[in-house]
Amino acid sequence: MKIEGLQSGYGDVQVLWGVDLEVPAGEITCIVGSNGAGKSTLLRTISGMVAAKAGRITFCGKDMTHSAPDAMLGAGLAHVPEGRRLFRGMSIRDNLLVGAYLRRDARADIERDLEAVYAMFPILKERQQQDATTLSGGEQQMCAIGRGIMSRPQLLMVDELSLGLAPRAVEKLGDALREINRTGLTILLVEQDVVTAFELARHAYVIETGRVGIAGETEVLSADPRVRQAYMGI
């Protein structure tokens, strides 16, 4: 996926001011920055939830700049939103199956993918009939990620993986993302915890007030004094 000169916002309030970035296929790329920098707005614009005012979004070789969310999902882009956004009153199993609602392949294939999600997150299978919103924060994040995987995406976008979670839960989710990535799935991770993001991703973009301030390989950025002082507390 390639983003060029992307601008967007909410009504008269502009949040993104010409963002350029590229997400290499088959890798984990992260977007970091302080709260309110525009990270979540960037993902919402990419997925079609917020309209782009200018710029270009190219996904799988196609211009998808003004595509609706269902078109983006159908093209192979799944968005795990900030706060998980699971459906209250629906079981874990049904929340997961919502991720497959656009699929037109055989029911057996969908069930096979559901079992793969359960294998990755066994707690979800144990509690599959439980209301998904009654899970712990970490378990809800597992369900939200699983729901994204159920669409069989080519790119999985995860907004704030660690938000409000205990360190042990974040570690388990990070291991899961690595496992998912090893299957060849491209991942774009938005994360306020820079240390966590850099441990998972190979490439990083630092968003500062709606613009890309710094970009590069995480190994290099980890040693950059600007990043260490502003975002890593070192």
Give the per-residue pLDDT at 234: 63
Give the per-residue pLDDT at 211: 96
Return the structure tokens found at 203.
Answer: 């490439």
| Pair 177, 161: CB distance under 8 Å | yes
CATH of the domain at 102: 3.40.50.300
**Angle, alpha carbons 205-165-182 (nearest 5°):** 55
**Number of domains forming the structure of the chain:** 1
Question: Strands, E, within the chain: which ranges?
Answer: 2-10, 13-22, 28-32, 52-59, 62-63, 77-80, 155-159, 186-190, 203-208, 211-217
pTM above 0.75, yes or no: yes
- pLDDT tens digits for 102-140? 888 888 999 999 999 999 999 999 999 999 999 999 999
Q: What is the DSSP letter of 87?
A: -
Give the per-residue pLDDT at 230: 81
Which residue ranges in the chain fall short of pLDDT 50? Answer: none
Give the per-residue pLDDT at 22: 97
Domain range for residue 111?
2-231
What length is written for the chain? 234
Phi-psi region of 230 (alpha: psi -120 to 50; beta: other; left: phi over 0): alpha
